[in-house]
Structure 1
Amino acid sequence: MSSPATSSPATSPPAGSAAAVPRGRVDACPGALQTHTAADGELARVRVPGGLLTSAQLRVLAAAARDLGDGALELTSRGNLQLRGLAPEAAPELGRRLAAAGLLPSESHERVRNVLASALTGRSGGHLDVRPWVAAFDAGLCADPALAALPGRFLATLDDGRGDVTGLGGDVGLLALDPDTVALTLAGVDSGLRATPADAVDLALAATRAFLAERAAQGGTAWRLAELPDGPARVAARLPGPRAAPVPLPPAAVTGPVGAEVQADGRTALAGVVPLGRLTAAQADLLASLADEVQLTPWRSVVVPDLDEHRVDDAAVDLHRTGVVLDADSPWLRVTACAGRPGCARSLADVRADAATAVTSGALPAGGARQHWAGCERRCGRPRGDVVDVVATPAGYRVNCGRTPLPPTPR
């Protein structure tokens, strides 16, 4: 590690983190075409609605990481992917490859296609299959020119009733309460609006348009619905439809499924965590060889579904051999990190290397509690919920074991 860790009490949220503080600049969230200049080159973020990728698309992404980037794909807390280390002139070629693979259906909307879906939906658990919702919501989003004006941090959550993604901070969300009833959620609360499964996507799209309308009415600077004063109530008031008494919503899930899960059709899905979210091109190619479709999750894990019984053991061995974690008790499920050095100029340490050393040596601070390693006080990528902060300082790492009510910085 760079230097010893020290402990400190909880700190207050940094200035400007409160929802009521107006945004003074346009959201500049990177995309596949609008890249961000980092210390290690250009960074591109590829939106993957619902985290759903075909094997062919995954192979295209793996090849792009090899040919254009640093050889790896980063899994984000929104089930998207990032490519790092791109040359400044690489963006047009990346765009051509993504478009040919069906990963760039709309150049004007590519930064706003942030859609989370329940893991294993349609295969195991839940009241219904939300994969059709993913496709319909994404198509409706891209078909409306006005929705290209959404901030790049806008997030939709489509939850099949298991409650795994509803608590992850969606601006607009759908939660199946039973096989016939869907609740519209707004900024993490139940709006009281209800729909049938067939009408749910139309309601979510209407709420998305209502967010833009309310944002414009209040000055047009907010990046998230929660930043608008009385935002959820004002957006709900703009929408027609049946209403019911709001119900409590499930909290944010700490982890997703890990290991083998028997599907409703008798086949098996393998869910594996990718340590610190860094998926090598070789790992991506392996995943593409195992199934026709994979799902990325917001817990920086990958679901490989539809495995016949005779293939499960071999697939698990291959995934484990390449470093994908299938053990629900592994410390890797409790450790996240920002990019750190050399990718981020703000970082004071190579936090990924230091976190990996702590895991492999059994020297995680705070007794191995759920923790986020960060190269500076911004704590980018910090997950929701109770998390120990391990923050690099000029004097070493500071371990904050208190409950710091900081909002996460999504990636």
Structure 2
Amino acid sequence: MTGRSRTDRCPGVLRPWIAKDGALVRLRLVGGQLTTQMLTDLMAISAEWADGTVLLTKRANLQLRGIAAVQNEDASACVPHEFADAVAAAGFLPTPTHERVRNIMVSPLSGRVGGRANLFPVATALDEALCADPAFAGLSARFLFVFDDGRGDLVDRSLDLGAMAVDAEHAQVRIGTDLWGEVVELEALPEVLLDLAGRFVRARGDAPDAPWHIDELDQPITDNHHARDLRTQVTSPWPPSGVLTQDDGRTAEVVDVPDGILTHDRVTQVLRRAGSEVIVTPWRSLVLPDLAHPV
């Protein structure tokens, strides 16, 4: 048992956290991915509605703060409708019902530099299926999926469900922080994880003190546990800022973000060097992938 008597209060766009300087909202990104156009639009939204900056989180998501809060009919606080509409139009709110449960981390360099497999397609498929099923709106907003592409950069992260690649076509399932499941084909991985997530939703119930994490359950959600595959026994640090050569011959640049705060000037510098995509990492940095020439 957890000893808690309330539901989680992790913020989203439609359910913000009210701080002293106004509302704080969190924008979920699948594996930290966003387009440069989305980043451009978000900076404009922050300049108009928030404090003019964008914050990076440890789960490779984004936050805005300093938003003027308004009152709902039930006296709870929310953000202005115009702000929420702008965030949705920029592509940061694909599903109002599931926005706070889209917590999916991926090795940021997956499919580009090193690693055993590209897990971004798997994460995207999981996100789409997660959002398509009303039952998964019942997950805690702290419930976390983690995909390590086999290099070991995320293997030490606490998680609820996830997987670690063991070769280009297979990954071993992870269940809670310490348990490991079977080795499955990457194509089957979203379905396997959704089945486990569904078991958790049913086991936790909907009481105010319902567990937030798999590790908090009194009973395991499955008995299908396996020994940890020896190929998962690897770790690797996140590379420092600088240019990396991608597996396809193009380059990627890792850009440190001091204090995890994107200001207008910093984003302007990033956009001058970026291609069409930016990847937020859990280490207060950005990856600018798929650059044609050294930067």
Greater C-alpha radius of gyration: 1
| Counterpart among 278, 285, 305 of residue 261 in structure 2 | 278
CA 60–145 in structure 1, closer or farther in 2 if over 3 Å, else same:
same
Write the distance in 1 (CA, Å) between the matches of 2:207 and 2:66: 39
| Counterpart among 268, 291, 295 of residue 307 in structure 1 | 291
CA 101–218 in structure 1, closer or farther in 2 if over 3 Å, else same:
closer
Does the Cα contact within 8 Å between 1:175 and 1:184 map onto a contact in 2?
A: yes
Deviation at 1:252, TM superposition (A): 7.8
Instruction: Show the counterpart of 1:98.
Output: 87
Does the Cα contact within 8 Å between 1:218 and 1:228 map onto a contact in 2?
A: no
More off after superposition, 41-50 vs 87-96 = 87-96
Q: How large is the Cα RMSD of the aligned pairs?
A: 2.2
Write the distance in 2 (CA, Å) between the matches of 1:225 and 1:115: 15
| 1:131 counterpart = 2:114 | no
Instruction: Show the counterpart of 1:376.
Output: none
Does the Cα contact within 8 Å between 2:242 and 2:254 map onto a contact in 1?
A: yes
Deviation at 1:103, TM superposition (A): 1.7
Instruction: Show the counterpart of 2:201.
Output: 212
Write the distance in 1 (CA, Å) between the matches of 2:172 and 2:9: 31
Deviation at 1:244, TM superposition (A): 4.5
Aligned amino acid, residue 268 of structure 1: T
Q: Give the 3-state SS of the residue equivalent to 1:60 in structure 2.
A: helix
Write the distance in 2 (CA, Å) between the matches of 1:97 and 1:218: 34
In structure 1, stretches of 5+ residues that fail to align are 1-19, 313-411
Write the distance in 2 (CA, Å) between the matches of 1:308 and 1:193: 39
Identical columns (%): 38
Deviation at 1:210, TM superposition (A): 1.4
Write the distance in 1 (CA, Å) between the matches of 2:236 and 2:203: 30
Write the distance in 1 (CA, Å) between the matches of 2:174 and 2:29: 21
Aligned amino acid, residue 253 of structure 2: L
Deviation at 1:305, TM superposition (A): 1.1
Deviation at 1:184, TM superposition (A): 0.8
CA 86–250 in structure 1, closer or farther in 2 if over 3 Å, else same:
farther
Q: 1:1-400, aligned counterparts within 5 Å?
A: 20-89=1-70, 90-216=79-205, 221-230=210-219, 234-237=220-223, 244-247=226-229, 255-289=238-272, 290-310=274-294, 312=295
Write the distance in 2 (CA, Å) between the matches of 1:73 and 1:218: 34
Write the distance in 2 (CA, Å) between the matches of 1:78 and 1:211: 21
CA 280–147 in structure 1, closer or farther in 2 if over 3 Å, else same:
same
Note the alpha carbon deviations across 1:172-230, whole angstroms, 9 max, x for none: 00111112321110122342322101111111111111111222399961111112234
More off after superposition, 216-225 vs 127-136 = 216-225
Write the distance in 1 (CA, Å) between the matches of 2:43 and 2:286: 15
CA 91–163 in structure 1, closer or farther in 2 if over 3 Å, else same:
farther
Q: Give the 3-state SS of the residue equivalent to 1:283 in structure 2.
A: helix
Write the distance in 2 (CA, Å) between the matches of 1:281 and 1:217: 42
Q: Give the 3-state SS of the residue equivalent to 1:43 in structure 2.
A: strand
Does the Cα contact within 8 Å between 1:167 and 1:250 map onto a contact in 2?
A: no
CA 288–39 in structure 1, closer or farther in 2 if over 3 Å, else same:
same
Aligned amino acid, residue 236 of structure 1: T
Write the distance in 1 (CA, Å) between the matches of 2:244 and 2:159: 26
Deviation at 1:162, TM superposition (A): 1.0
Write the distance in 1 (CA, Å) between the matches of 2:206 and 2:25: 32
Deviation at 1:156, TM superposition (A): 0.5
Write the distance in 2 (CA, Å) between the matches of 1:219 and 1:71: 35
Deviation at 1:22, TM superposition (A): 2.7
Deviation at 1:236, TM superposition (A): 2.5
CA 282–115 in structure 1, closer or farther in 2 if over 3 Å, else same:
same
Aligned amino acid, residue 272 of structure 1: V
